[in-house]
Amino acid sequence: MVDGDVSLKRAALMLAPFQIVFRGLEALIPFFFAQWFGRGLATDIFYIVAATVTFLTSLIVSAYQDSAIIPIVADLHRGAPHEVRDFACALLGRTLAIALVALVALCPIGTMVLQRFAPSIVAPSALVSGFALFAFLTAYRACICGFMNARGWFVVPPFVTGMGTTLAIVSIFFARARYGIYVVPWAFAMGEALALLLALFEWRRREGRWIVPTLDNHPLVAKFSALAGREAVGATITRINPVIDQVMATSSKVIGGGTILKYALDLASIPGSVLQAVFFTPLLTKLSLQAARREYAAFLGTLKQGLVVATLTSASLAAALCIFREFICEVLFLHGEMDASAVSEMAAVLPYGAIGAVPFAWLLVLARANVALQNRRIMIPLGVMNAVSNVVFNVLFLRMLGLRGLALATTCVHALVAGAMLIALRSRLRFYLTPEGER
């Protein structure tokens, strides 16, 4: 387990070289797709399907990404470190069983929906099956990497996912001429398979034993389900937002509107992605260790440090995106199949999403603080607030500003949810910082 006294700066610097290379490559995916596939009805439908799959699988995947698994393992490592592997094997077995049942049931439904509402898709079953395989392997890999982050092995997850992403991009490059955009889910499934194998072998190398899925009734599985279940449901509710955004953008009068919005918001998300890559996982680990030791004054200091770093980083990057938006969009997107008018519209949409970088960074920091304190009750209400407010802001601003309004709606949702999360956290900390709470 990572030492509770390790500084966030040291952990971030340790992660930075790996994340710059591998997460940087992942961030380039939208720019490759823009060059290779352009914009149009096919790309809009593809991104709707991709957002839907992400929404459906996030109930499992989000349970392991900067989630309750870290404070639980922190507690377990202090009292019974030999139990970590048994807990991991039991939880992995339940995860794979749930993922397999869900995907087998949903594949035929997805195929029928595409056949009914998107007849232009040539091979809907192949598209849905590729995404299903990708989602299953992602759930497997996410569970293992969640335990690795909880153990303080911060470098391993970005390395294995980076290698998988590299394989996926290379595969798409060579197969795109023959299979078009339909090759994408299968290529990423291959990438997840490689990442999974690398993660398994690294676990074996460090622990001396394989992590094998079991259906053992480990007592901590129930505790994890109670904690992570609310987090995952809340996160899953919020992940319907990209689906709604894509549907509304596609229904607008702009040709390829969903694709344009997707690429603009991908750029606007760069500040959050940078913080996620090098800062948030060590932050959650440190907060979880301090909460487990009941060091609430130190917890509050770490939280303030996290908010300062998140604010300065996100504000600086967002300002750069707004100032140089036209140059950035032209350099990154004006190639291959992408046309100039689409790039111009991306540059116009980008500032409306970029101004939400700071509230989004605050939201991410505050979410991790609530997770570290195992404050699970707020997750579902916040998820509902997120989804409902997104619909309301989308309907309101789409009529006024078009695609720019959809980006502005996302910014407003981030600010609203961050404010609600801050209120919930202050209420939770008010008790802990009293002498009674310290005991």
What lies within 8 Å, CB to CB, of 403 at 6+ separation is 249, 252, 254, 257, 260, 261, 264, 345, 349
**Which tokens in the block code for residue 332?**
């990154």
Flag whether 169 is in a domain. yes
**Which tokens in the block code for residue 282?**
């060590």
Give residue 297's pLDDT.
82
Q: Where do the H-state alpha helices sit in 270-356?
A: 270-275, 281-292, 296-323, 325-333, 340-354
Torsional sign, CA 129, 267, 263, 22: negative
Q: Which of 6-10, 128-132, 215-219, 304-308 has the lowest mean pLDDT?
A: 6-10
Q: For residue range 67-118, what is the model confidence (pLDDT) as tens digits? A: 667 777 777 776 677 788 888 899 889 888 888 887 777 777 777 777 776 6
Does the structure show a pLDDT above 60 at 249? yes
- Rounded to 10 degrees, the C-alpha dihedral 384/387/393/398 comes to -160
**Which tokens in the block code for residue 2?**
């990572």
Distance CA 133, CA 100 (A): 10
Closest CA to 267 of 337, 350, 348: 350
Bigger pLDDT: 320 vs 33? 320
Flag whether 2 is in a domain. no
% pLDDT > 70, the chain: 85
Flag whether 415 is in a domain. yes
Collect contacts of 120-123 with beta carbons under 8 A, ≥24 apart: 120/41, 120/42, 120/45, 121/42, 121/45, 122/182, 123/182
Distance CA 421, CA 391 (A): 20
Flag whether 17 is in a domain. yes
Q: Residue 411 — very low, low, confident or very high, per pLDDT cuts 50/70/90? A: very high
Q: For residue range 368-382, what is the model confidence (pLDDT) as tens digits? A: 888 778 776 777 788
Distance CA 145, CA 62 (A): 12
Q: For residue range 178-193, what is the model confidence (pLDDT) as tens digits? A: 888 889 999 999 999 9
- Rounded to 10 degrees, the C-alpha dihedral 107/110/115/120 comes to -110
Does the structure show a pLDDT above 70 at 53? yes
Give residue 327's pLDDT.
92
Flag whether 1 is in a domain. no
Distance CA 415, CA 72 (A): 29
Q: Which of 99-108, 317-326, 345-354, 391-400 has the lowest mean pLDDT?
A: 99-108
Give residue 230's pLDDT.
60
Query: Is 342 buried (19+), middle (13-18) or exposed (0-12) by CB count in 10 A?
Result: buried
Flag whether 310 is in a domain. yes
Give the number of domains in the chain.
1
Flag whether 391 is in a domain. yes
Flag whether 218 is in a domain. yes
Q: Which of 5-19, 162-176, 335-349 has the lowest mean pLDDT?
A: 5-19
% pLDDT > 90, the chain: 24
Please name the residue that has the structure tokens 């990154």.
332
Q: Domain span at residue 420? A: 8-438
